[in-house]
Amino acid sequence: MNKGERVVYIQKRLAELYPDPPIPLDHKDSYTLLVSVLLSAQCTDARVNQITPRLFALADNPVSMAKVPVPEIEAIIRACGLGPQKAKAISQLSHILIEQHGGVVPASLEDLERLPGVGHKTAQVVMAQAFGIPSFPVDTHIHRLAQRWKLTDGRSVTQTERDLKRLFPESSWNKLHLQIIFYAREFCTAHKCDGTVCEICRTCFPERVKAVLTKKA
């Protein structure tokens, strides 16, 4: 297969496997999603989903969260890792949302990226999953698979995002990034597949015999 054929096959097969992929992080609105995505940095979605019910029972909006002392937030989220930094960021961004955005999460990539603890990937997840605005957040799973499928050279996450946005229709981005993540977790993990084992890798590269060494995000 050439690259164009791989793109068509990959999108079709992922749509068959995951026709309606759910958002992995439990949330009820844009604010709880933002906090959940922030907590997911260097932490599994499953762990975040175990922790957020207690946090959101305490405060599930910027006004309530801004009143919670940072050490109290940290005590709840400690199991997510990077507790002090994340607790401080959650508190600070809650104050900023109140002071600068009327207590609501802005549907602007630039405004989101200005919030404490919110990087480009987190902002794009919120844009895609909270507001339905076409985005292609690239995490470690997507970065790894895009290299295994020769859709990017893997020089950086930024380059991978740029390449995937160029290859796939904009209308597919929001669903496709979730489909790739689910496929990566189920079939093409860092340990189960080295670029020669899973269905998509074998179909796209039937003659490949050597493991694919991927660059980390």
> Which ranges of the chain would DSSP assign to H, the alpha helix?
3-17, 30-39, 45-58, 62-66, 70-77, 83-101, 109-113, 120-131, 140-148, 157-167, 173-186, 199-204
CATH topology classification for 3-21+136-204 = Endonuclease Iii, domain 2 (1.10.1670)
Phi, psi of 126 (to 5 degrees): -65, -40
Concerning whether 45 is annotated as a catalytic residue, the answer is no
Catalytic residue among 45, 111, 139, 194: 139
What is the predicted pLDDT for the residue at 82? 95
What is the predicted pLDDT for the residue at 216? 86
Question: CA–CA separation, 127 vs 133, rounded Å?
Answer: 5
CATH topology classification for 30-131 = Endonuclease III; domain 1 (1.10.340)
Concerning whether 139 is annotated as a catalytic residue, the answer is yes
pLDDT in tens, the chain (217 residues): 999 999 999 999 999 999 999 999 999 999 999 999 999 999 999 999 999 999 999 999 999 999 999 999 999 999 999 999 999 999 999 999 999 999 999 999 999 999 999 999 999 999 999 999 999 999 999 999 999 999 999 899 999 999 999 999 999 999 999 999 999 999 999 999 999 999 999 999 999 999 999 998 7
CATH 1.10.1670.10 boundaries in the chain = 3-21+136-204
